[in-house]
Amino acid sequence: MDKTGFGSLSPEEMDALKELGNIGVAHAATSLSTMLGKVVEMSVPNVFVARISEIHNYFKDELVSGVVTALEDVENGRSGYLYISFPNAEKVAKLLIDDASLVESAIMEVGNILSSSFCNAIADMLGIMLIPSPPSFSYEMSIAIVEAIVAQIAEKSDYVIIFETELKEKDDAIDILVTLVPDERFLGYIMKMFGMLG
Amino acid sequence: MDFVVGIGEAKIAKSGVLKTIGLGSCVAIAIYETKLKVSGLAHAMLPKSNGLKSAKFVDSAIEIMLDSLISMGCDKKNMVAKIAGGAQIFKHLTLENLQIGERNVEAVRTELKRNGIRIVSEDVGGTLGRTVYLYASDGRMLVRYSNGEELWI
């Protein structure tokens, strides 16, 4: 049963969600550029709202590197998780630190920056205060990660939001998936933002 | 023919393969009826239902499968079960509280026992994700770990 209305968003609401993702990754790209001393651009070409029972249609059945961060809402405690996965982790390591052998540390660094700036940017947009936990590295099937996260949020979460992200440095492009697993309250913040669209 | 069982779903089949992908702390519950040769597979996420009848929860998932199987003429006496999953995916306890994997497995044992259904084989726990294939017509079950290793149970 879909009490939140999240299963049937209007095109305008989907656009707003995409914009939320774009602002999140744009902030992340700025932080990343500063750290690396070179210009990195990021954008969200597509956003998907996926039912938990259908997430196997969005992730490949293979091992992938990523980071998981728990999101604490200052007023109400744990309110969701952010999972950032890198289907081309070696490429990320090569592009960003010019060393493909240091995949885990590269992903941890990049994941840390991405999750904290993404989190700050969307908290601003939603008018809340979010504190991300230190990221945890994972090398696992994405579905197993998302499923284990959803189990933490327990029965109150039926949807995940997947921001398909593209990172560009000069002519190189790397795909990244930013998956937001919100609990019911967090979904409420997003719905409230939609309400302000007028 | 492959039937994908999504997270929080349960399906029944007489032929083909029931498949569920990416089990982390969730648990796959397979029930096979030896006489009519029918199988059910569920991918349950949490131990106990909050009153809602959904295959997200171990207790409801088993109930839903049993209802369907019995309505097809199956008999509990001829049913056996196989289970897989219940891993601890995150190393850091800050991310994973309450050891959901273990609690899921415990809930499956309790519910199956209450229904008088024997677990004939299992592959539970550990830290790796699993994908499970259940051959509906004979109850054979293949567990494939995320690192590529395979195990018939």
**pLDDT 10s digits, A86-103:** 998 888 888 777 776 788
To the nearest whole Å, the CA of B14 is away from the closest chain A CA by 22
Instruction: Answer yes or no: are the C-beta atoms of A73 and A130 closer than 8 Å.
Output: yes
Which pairing describes strands A172-182 and A159-169: parallel, antiparallel, or unpaired?
antiparallel
Q: How many residues does chain B have?
A: 153
Choice among A19-33, A38-52, A144-158, B107-121 with the minimum mean pLDDT: A144-158
The helix or strand, by DSSP H or E, that contains position A134, with its residue range, turns out to be: none
Count: domains in chain B: 1
CA dist., res. A56 & res. B6, Å (int): 7
The whole-number pLDDT of residue A74 equals 84
Average pLDDT over residues A123-148: 91
Residue A145 with chain B: CB contacts under 8 Å: 24, 89, 129
Q: Are residues B45 and A147, on separate chains, in Cβ contact within 8 Å?
A: yes
For residues A142 and A128, give the distance between their C-alpha atoms in angstroms, rounded to a whole number.
28
Would you tell me how many other CB atoms lie within 10 Å of the CB of residue B94?
Answer: 10
Q: How many C-beta atoms surround the C-beta of residue A192 within 10 A?
A: 12
Cβ contacts of B95 on chain A, cutoff 8 Å: 68, 70, 81, 133, 136, 149, 152
Which residue from B132, B153, A148, B134 is spatially nearest to B145, judged by alpha carbons?
B132
Contacts of A10 (CB under 8 A, 6+ apart): none
Distance CA A81, CA B137 (A): 40
Residue A1 burial by Cβ neighbours in a 10 Å radius (0-12, 13-18, 19+): exposed
Q: Is the pLDDT of residue A3 over 80?
A: no
Is residue A4 within 8 A of residue A191, CB to CB? The reply is yes
Per the structure block, which two tokens stand in for B117? 């259904």
Q: Cα–Cα distance between A59 and A56 in angstroms, integer? A: 6
Are A140 and B100 an interchain contact pair (Cβ–Cβ within 8 Å)? no
Cβ pair B56:A155 closer than 8 A? yes
Contact B24 A152 (CB under 8 A): no
Which positions in chain B touch A53 (Cβ < 8 Å)? 6-9
> What domain range includes position B9?
2-152
CA distance to partner chain B, nearest, from residue A17 (Å): 24
Concerning whether B26 is annotated as a catalytic residue, the answer is yes
Give A134's contacts in chain B (Cβ within 8 Å).
94
Token code pair at residue A149: 């996260």
- Could you say which of B5, B18, B26, B38 is catalytic? B26
Show the domains of chain A with their CATH numbers. 6-195 (3.40.1550.10)
**H helix intervals, chain B:** 58-71, 100-114
Decide: helix, strand or coil at residue B41.
Answer: strand
Q: How confident is the model at residue A1 (pLDDT cuts 50, 70, 90)?
A: very low
Asked if B16 and B1 count as a contact pair (C-beta separation under 8 A), the reply is yes
Residue B130, min C-alpha distance to chain A (Å): 8
Residue with tokens 């609690």: B103
Distance from CA of A187 to the nearest CA of B (A): 20
Chain B residue with minimal CA distance to A67?
Answer: B90
Residue labelled with tokens 């690396």: A36
Confidence class of residue B20 from pLDDT cuts 50, 70 and 90?
Answer: very high
For chain A, give the mean pLDDT.
88
What are the strands, taking DSSP E only, across chain B? 2-4, 10-13, 17-23, 27-33, 38-44, 79-85, 118-124, 130-135, 141-145, 150-152
Chain A residues with beta carbon closer than 8 angstroms to that of B107: none
Per-residue pLDDT reduced to its tens digit, A58-89: 998 889 999 999 998 888 888 899 999 999 88
* CA B143 to centroid of chain Cα atoms: 12
CB B81 within 8 A of CB B119: yes
Nearest CB among A53, A56, A140 relative to B129 is that of: A140
Tens of pLDDT, residue by residue over B53-96, are 999 999 999 999 999 999 999 999 999 999 999 998 887 655 65
Where would I find the H helices in A57-183?
Answer: 89-97, 103-126, 142-153
* Cα distances (angstroms) measured from residue A54 to each of A50, A70, B25: 6, 23, 17
Copy the structure tokens of residue A67: 């980071």
Residue A144 binned pLDDT confidence (cut-offs 50, 70, 90): very high
Question: What does the pLDDT read at residue B92?
Answer: 67
Query: Across all residues in chain B, what is the average pLDDT?
Result: 94
CA B82/CA B141 separation, integer angstroms: 8
Instruction: State which H helix or E strand residue A80 sits in.
Output: strand A77-86
Interface of A with B (CB under 8 A): 51-56, 59, 61, 63, 68, 70, 81, 133-134, 136, 138, 140-152, 154-155
Interface-testing mutation among B88, B90, B145, with chain A (most A C-beta atoms within 10 A): B90
User: The CATH number of the domain where B73 resides is what?
Assistant: 3.30.1330.200
How many angstroms away from the CA of B35 is the closest CA of chain A? 31
B94/A68 CB distance under 8 A: no
Q: Which two tokens stand for residue B148?
A: 């590529």
- pLDDT at residue A2 in the model: 54
- Residue A20 has phi, psi (to 5 degrees) of -55, -45
* pTM of the entire predicted model: 0.90
pLDDT of residue A4: 61
Paired residues of A77 in beta bridges: A73
Q: Which sign does the torsion angle of CA B100, B33, B9, A58 carry?
A: positive
